[in-house]
Amino acid sequence: MTARIIDGNALSRQLRAGIAERTVALKTRGIAPGLAVILVGDDPASAVYVRNKVKACDDCGLVSVLEKHKADFTEAELLGRVRALNDDPSIHGILVQLPLPPHIDAQKVIESISPAKDVDGFHIASAGALMTGLPGFWPCTPYGCMKMLESIEFDLRGKHAVVIGRSNIVGKPMALMLLQKNATVTICHSATVDLKAHTLQADVIVAAVGKRNVLTADMVKPGAVVLDVGMNRNDEGKLCGDVDFAGVSEVAGAITPVPGGVGPMTITMLLMNTLQAAEQAAAAAGLP
């Protein structure tokens, strides 16, 4: 079998066209969706991520405000900036790029963001909403994975999903989203004994580990859907995922590539969350 490729770039283009249309509609009601992105320090990877997020906002007509601060920016100063943005009605989403320098408590900063503007979905209120099935912002990467499953009309009801990885930003929320769609979910992690025994039973596998070749062809049931969240470098320095793409795509029914899979979807869902935050602000303000 040669797996169907779930093209994250193509799906992103389609979703972003819809976001751009909704943005125009919102602007005619007097609200321009605004995202504030805060970068502290000079981590080169973070600088690239932030640039891509700002560009994606611009392309879809959202307003983006990029704040860059030096690595010695203090926690108190950062908390002060977040407070100011919480109170700024032109800003609907606040994103503090992680990782932060070690002298700043990242969790404290995340918790200082107003849940109404928590478009990354990392605030404990957002996590609690997802946990309990209440409305709230979903973390962008697993949210993007759900959209990819939706795009191939994959019905999760009664299916067995295996999530490899249990981080707060990918693995755990991913598992909860799959559960919400009535999948039977197994979460695997570094202490899992015999990962292959679990993945071989899966109808859907999400690999979110950060290690190359965590999932190989012999670990996949024929026809399973494989979503590769991992971002790693191969021996030639090229971007690759957690999945042995060449091997697994001979067995799986559908698979996401790296690059061009989950990565672009993550930014798309950030735009979606920001737009949603702005639409909610419009509704709260009673705009027609």
- Determine if 171 is a binding residue for ligand NAP (CB under 6 A): yes
Q: Please report, for residues 37, 122, 165, 273, 274, the alpha-carbon distance to residue 137 in angstroms, rounded to integers and kept in the order given.
A: 17, 8, 21, 6, 9
Q: Which of 140, 195, 190, 136 is nearest to 169 (CA)?
A: 140
Q: Which of 118, 120, 228, 244 is catalytic?
A: 120
- Determine if 54 is a binding residue for ligand NAP (CB under 6 A): no
Q: For ligand NAP, which is the closer residue by CB, 112 or 141?
A: 141
120 is catalytic: yes
| Distance, CA of 22 to CA of 10 (rounded, Å) | 19
Binding residues among 233-272 for ligand NAP as defined by CB under 6 A:
262-263, 266
Q: Which of 97, 117, 203, 276 is catalytic?
A: 97
- Determine if 22 is a binding residue for ligand NAP (CB under 6 A): no
Q: Is the peptide bond before 259 cis (omega within 30 degrees of 0)?
A: yes
Total binding residues toward ligand NAP, as defined by CB under 6 A = 26
53 is catalytic: yes
CB of 53 within 8 A of CB of 266?
no
Q: For ligand NAP, which is the closer residue by CB, 262 or 275?
A: 262
**Separate counts of helices (H) and strands (E) for the chain:** 10, 11
- Determine if 149 is a binding residue for ligand NAP (CB under 6 A): no
**195: its two tokens:** 């990962």
Q: What is the DSSP letter of 100?
A: P
- Determine if 186 is a binding residue for ligand NAP (CB under 6 A): no
Q: For ligand NAP, which is the closer residue by CB, 1 or 239?
A: 239
- Determine if 9 is a binding residue for ligand NAP (CB under 6 A): no
In angstroms, give the least distance from the CB of 90 to ligand NAP: 27
Q: Which of 65, 69, 131, 128 is nearest to 93 (CA)?
A: 65
| Distance, CA of 17 to CA of 12 (rounded, Å) | 8
In angstroms, give the least distance from the CB of 99 to ligand NAP: 10
- Determine if 178 is a binding residue for ligand NAP (CB under 6 A): no
Interface ranges with ligand NAP (CB under 6 A): 141, 164-167, 169-171, 188-192, 195, 208-211, 214, 229-232, 262-263, 266
